[in-house]
Amino acid sequence: MQAKLVPGAGGSFRVELLGEDGRLLGRKILTYHGERVYLSTELPFEIPGAAEMGRLQISTYDSAGRVIALQSV
């Protein structure tokens, strides 16, 4: 996965992969200091069946832990 983003408070953001029933298949919490981040990362995961729909999302949070930006595909 590749993305361009602006990190939240403390420079951290989350990359998560959710299964079709909403269960968490994979998560990375990353921290980068700087105004903008060009991210290239892999997120390992396993599914029990041959195929499954999923949702990949990236989110940033403020200093109180509230979501300030969320993008998903």
**What six digits make up the tokens of 20?**
């079709």
Tokens 């060009």, residue located: 38
Q: In the prediction, which pLDDT does 38 show?
A: 83
CATH number reported for the structural domain that contains residue 53 in this entry: 2.60.40.10
Q: In the prediction, which pLDDT does 47 show?
A: 83
Would you say residue 57 has pLDDT above 90?
Answer: yes
Phi, psi of 38 (to 5 degrees): -105, 105
Domain of 55?
A: 2-72
User: pLDDT digit string (tens) for 2-52?
Assistant: 788 888 888 888 999 999 999 999 999 988 887 788 888 888 888 877 788
The 3-state DSSP class for residue 49 equals coil
Cα torsion angle, 13, 68, 59, 40, sign = negative
Q: In the prediction, which pLDDT does 55 show?
A: 94
Provide the domain count of the chain: 1
